[in-house]
Amino acid sequence: MKRDFLTIHDITAKELESLLVRARELKDMHKAGSDTSVLKGKTLGLLFEKQSTRTRISFEVAMFQLGGHPVYLSPNQIQMGRGETIGDTAKVISGYLDGIVVRTFSHSTIEEWARFSYVPVINGLTDLHHPCQTISDILTIFENKGRVSGIKMAYIGDGNNVANSLIEGAAIMGMEIRVATPKGYEPDSAIVSKARLAAKETGAVIEIMQDPLDAVKDADVVYTDVWTSMGQEKEEHGRKQVFQKYQINHETMQLAKKDAIIMHCLPAHRGEEITEEMMESPQSVIFDQAENRLHMQKALLEMLLR
Ligand code: CP
Ligand code: NVA
């Protein structure tokens, strides 16, 4: 049976732990120049309705490193751009491809892809979730902190797709996550409730608050993302005012643990949600975090496509 990866809840904590081990193996093997071609003859489609640097490139390169092939599908160049339905397109491409990564706006659109596709559908970001980012971020946390369970993460900024998936990841992995957002910009309430249910089993703690300084106190990981996500460009001016104090800067980092790491999914707006100084600080693992997308996604592709 095909398996999709639309949200973090599509995998178990046990599976995520195995992915962490495998991603590290694949990363080491690649660095040592060893053969990692476990997906020979397999093909992955990539359909992006929003821009992407990391997700697109890391999935394309992941397929090459695994011995398979990526096929980039530009939404305006396939017949969908002229009105062919998702259902028909999904059924057709299922005959050619072994899996497809979709980046789109509404989360219900990717659910429609998953309903009609006979091959795994992987969420490359929707307005509501960014699960591939979260699993790679958990790899980065594991590499830097030697554990995931019990880690205290502060997320400051917009309660967006990245925040929603981090909450779900924290819940299944037994982390403590404090999310500080301005009033009205909280993470999705249904996602938070579901995560709190999962947290009961794992000992995770999920706190939603408004004061970024409270959130950052004693944190092991301090995370932020842009104030204005793709599709919200019209709100950019207003958001710049509302989010002013939701910034990772020298002062915020004084409250976190001395050895806290700084994370950002990128792309960043230096001087807005994070200062130039903190982007480049020795505490920042932001660029390793971007590289880990590649290795974690190789482990995910092996699990779903093999
Ligand atoms: N972090 C992330 O998903 O980046 P892209 O938008 O460049 O893919
Ligand atoms: N929250 C951002 C993440 C980009 C990777 C967005 O959706 O634009």
Residues 50-74 pLDDT 10s: 999 999 999 999 999 999 999 999 9
- What is the band of 247 on the pLDDT scale with cuts at 50, 70, 90? very high
The CATH code of the domain at 8-129+292-305 is 3.40.50.1370
Q: Tell which residue, 22, 26, 28, has the closest CA to residue 37.
A: 26
Q: Is 266 in the pocket of ligand 1 (CB under 6 A)?
A: yes
CA–centroid distance, residue 229 to ligand 1 (Å): 11
Mean pLDDT of the residues in the chain: 98
pLDDT reported for residue 165: 99
CA–CA dist 77, 142 (Å, integer): 40
* 3-class DSSP assignment, residue 13: helix
Residue 229 CA, distance from chain mean position? 14
Residue range 89-103: mean pLDDT, rounded: 98
Residue 86 CA: distances (Å) to CA of 49, 78, 111, 156, 234? 13, 11, 10, 36, 27
HSE value, Cβ hemisphere, 13 Å, CA-based, for 199: 20
CA–CA dist 293, 298 (Å, integer): 9
**Which atom of ligand 2 lies closest to the CA of 228?**
8
**Which atom of ligand 1 lies closest to the CA of 290?**
1
Residue 25 CA: distances (Å) to CA of 65, 222, 238, 295? 13, 27, 45, 9
Q: Tell which residue, 122, 134, 15, 65, has the closest CA to residue 295.
A: 65
Which residues have CB under 6 Å of ligand 2?
Answer: 125, 160-162, 225-226, 229-230, 265
* Amino acid identity for residue 86 in this structure: I
Give the pLDDT confidence of 264-294 residue by residue, as tens digits: 999 999 999 999 999 999 999 999 999 999 9
Q: Which ligand lies nearest to the CA atom of residue 266 in the structure?
A: 1
Number of H helices, E strands in the chain: 12, 9
CA–centroid distance, residue 203 to ligand 1 (Å): 30
Task: Give 133-289's CATH code, choosing from 3.40.50.1370, 2.60.40.10, 3.40.718.10, 2.40.50.100.
Answer: 3.40.50.1370
Q: Tell which residue, 124, 142, 120, has the closest CA to residue 133.
A: 124
Q: Is 255 in the pocket of ligand 1 (CB under 6 A)?
A: no
**Which atom of ligand 1 lies closest to the CA of 230?**
6
pLDDT reported for residue 213: 98
Q: Which ligand lies nearest to the CA atom of residue 264 in the structure?
A: 1
CA–centroid distance, residue 265 to ligand 1 (Å): 7
pLDDT reported for residue 67: 98
Fold match, 8-129+292-305 / 133-289: yes
> Domain-by-domain residue ranges, the chain?
8-129+292-305, 133-289
Q: Tell which residue, 110, 134, 130, 156, has the closest CA to residue 52.
A: 130
> Which run of H or of E encompasses 137?
helix 131-145
Q: Tell which residue, 251, 199, 244, has the closest CA to residue 222.
A: 251
**Which atom of ligand 2 lies closest to the CA of 265?**
5
CA–centroid distance, residue 10 to ligand 2 (Å): 21
Q: Which ligand lies nearest to the CA atom of residue 161 in the structure?
A: 2
Say if CB 98 and CB 71 are below 8 A apart: no
Q: Is 160 in the pocket of ligand 1 (CB under 6 A)?
A: no
**pLDDT > 90 in the chain, percent:** 100
Is the whole model's pTM more than 0.95, yes or no? yes
Give the pLDDT confidence of 117-159 residue by residue, as tens digits: 999 999 999 999 999 999 999 999 999 999 999 999 999 999 9
The residues assigned a catalytic role are 103, 130, 133, 225, 265, 293
CA–centroid distance, residue 40 to ligand 2 (Å): 32
Q: Which ligand lies nearest to the CA atom of residue 123 in the structure?
A: 1
Write the residue with the smallest CA distance to atom 6 of ligand 2.
229
